[in-house]
């Protein structure tokens, strides 16, 4: 299938966005362009950061994608001429229904810091004043989210969608404008990060000795455990879908006098899988030795989001039903697997 010239723009823009940890972490986020009746959209489980090195975009028939949404079908088949073994993104329907030539969805940390709050609607409105924006509540990714967005854009011309407990979607005429709009929203929503106490790496390493855990690659992750407010937020529940998918629900915390081996009983001992990551109060975060780079990125994301939330913020967490729906979803098993093999 002949790729349109704009696909090169999309590759360059997606790689830039995907390499910015403040915008995208791991396999999160996705982008697309529309050309005639073809939607070129990121394949599920691929990383935007790889957009210039690998073939991460797949062609989908735009009319078929819109028809699938109308009929309530979750998966959108690839274009008949596509030479690809990948699946189109979970969010393909969302990209197809937006009228803009370019759609960009990111998990930008400043937007998420606002999108998990229940007490900030007025300030959010002030900061985004003048943009064609709308804030949605949380919807399960894929079809439920696409239907909710469909209902909103049927009423108004919207370029900026703040997805509750999830992230940001922008639509624009071209790649440059889409990228600029993401940066504009992030600038308006910018929150200063709190600095955390220094980390006692030696003490953490000692705790990890003889266990399946190690230090995370990014030192910033320790802030979740050393900043008492970040720690309270992180252990209160799950804030957004990719956290649940890659780290599991919430984040366990190691209490005083408990050792790591007890928190991380091997799979089967209690019928549960050992947690991917855990916090050690006041000391830092640890992550399983076999954790994927996607899980590492998600721990960094949590650090970046929690340290931006003000101390008095009222937080809305995902419900247990929301978490279960994400964990039992075949589309997410597939995405996790691909990310582990990146
Ligand atoms: Zn997303």
Q: Is 245 helix (H, G, I), strand (E, B) or coil?
A: helix
Residues of the chain above pLDDT 90, percent: 75
Question: What is the residue-averaged pLDDT of the chain?
Answer: 91
**Ligand 1 centroid – CA 167 distance (Å):** 6
**Ligand 1 centroid – CA 90 distance (Å):** 9
**Ligand 1 centroid – CA 207 distance (Å):** 34
DSSP line for 248-279: -SS--EE-TT--HHHHTPPTTTSSSPPPSEEE
**Ligand 1 centroid – CA 27 distance (Å):** 9
**Ligand 1 centroid – CA 240 distance (Å):** 9
Residue 20 φ/ψ region, left for φ over 0, alpha for ψ in the -120 to 50 degree band, beta for the rest: beta
Q: Residue holding tokens 């210039």?
A: 52
Confidence of residue 267 (pLDDT cuts 50, 70, 90): very low
Q: What's residue 342's pLDDT?
A: 72
Residue 68 CB contacts under 8 Å (≥ 6 apart), including other chains: 75, 76, 77, 93
Round to whole Å and give the CA distance between 277 and 295: 9
**Ligand 1 centroid – CA 191 distance (Å):** 21
Q: What's residue 334's pLDDT?
A: 74
**Ligand 1 centroid – CA 125 distance (Å):** 22
Q: What's residue 274's pLDDT?
A: 84
Q: Does residue 335 surpass a pLDDT of 90?
A: no
pLDDT tens for 24-36 read 999 999 999 999 9
pLDDT tens for 204-254 read 999 999 999 999 999 999 999 999 999 999 999 999 999 999 998 888 888
**Ligand 1 centroid – CA 28 distance (Å):** 6
pTM of the model: 0.93
Handedness of CA 264, 268, 272, 277 (dihedral sign): positive
**Ligand 1 centroid – CA 139 distance (Å):** 11
Q: What's residue 321's pLDDT?
A: 95
Domains of the chain: 6-188 (3.40.225.10), 201-340 (no CATH)
**Ligand 1 centroid – CA 31 distance (Å):** 11
Cβ(286)–Cβ(207) below 8 Å: yes
**Ligand 1 centroid – CA 168 distance (Å):** 8
pLDDT tens for 281-323 read 889 999 999 999 999 999 999 999 999 999 899 999 999 999 9
**Ligand 1 centroid – CA 149 distance (Å):** 13
Higher per-residue pLDDT: 325 or 260: 325
Helix H segments across the chain?
6-18, 62-71, 92-97, 109-115, 121-127, 143-155, 175-188, 201-208, 223-226, 228-235, 241-247, 260-263, 293-306, 320-327, 330-340
Confidence of residue 40 (pLDDT cuts 50, 70, 90): very high
């Amino acid at each position: 299938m002949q790729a349109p010239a704009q696909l090169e723009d999309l590759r360059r823009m997606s790689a830039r966005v995907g390499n910015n940890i403040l915008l995208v972490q791991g396999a999160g986020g996705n982008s697309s362009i529309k050309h005639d009746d073809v939607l070129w959209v990121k394949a599920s489980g691929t990383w935007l950061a790889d957009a210039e090195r690998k073939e991460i975009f797949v062609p989908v028939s735009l009319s078929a994608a819109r028809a699938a949404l109308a009929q309530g079908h979750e998966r959108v088949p690839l274009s008949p001429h596509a030479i690809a073994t990948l699946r189109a993104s979970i969010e393909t329907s969302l990209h197809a229904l937006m009228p803009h030539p370019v759609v960009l969805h990111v998990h930008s940390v400043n937007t998420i810091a606002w999108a998990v709050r229940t007490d900030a609607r007025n300030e959010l409105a002030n900061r985004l004043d003048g943009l064609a924006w709308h804030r949605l509540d949380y919807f399960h990714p894929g079809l439920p989210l696409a239907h909710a967005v469909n209902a909103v854009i049927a009423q108004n011309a919207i370029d900026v969608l703040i997805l509750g407990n999830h992230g940001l979607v922008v639509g624009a005429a071209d790649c440059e404008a889409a990228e600029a709009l993401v940066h504009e929203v992030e600038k308006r929503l910018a929150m200063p990060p709190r600095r955390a106490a220094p980390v006692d790496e030696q003490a953490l390493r000692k705790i990890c000795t003889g266990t399946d855990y190690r230090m995370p690659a990014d030192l910033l992750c320790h802030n979740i455990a050393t900043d008492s407010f970040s720690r309270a937020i992180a252990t209160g529940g799950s804030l957004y879908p990719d956290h649940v998918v890659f780290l599991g629900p919430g984040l366990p915390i190691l209490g005083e006098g408990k050792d790591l081996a007890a928190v991380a009983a091997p799979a089967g001992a209690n019928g549960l899988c050992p947690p991917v990551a855990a916090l050690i109060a006041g000391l830092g975060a640890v992550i399983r030795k076999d954790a994927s780079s996607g899980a590492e990125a998600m721990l960094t994301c949590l650090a970046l989001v929690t340290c931006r939330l003000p101390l008095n913020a009222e937080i809305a967490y995902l419900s247990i039903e929301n978490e279960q729906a994400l964990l039992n979803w075949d589309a997410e098993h597939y995405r996790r697997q691909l990310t582990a093999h990146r």
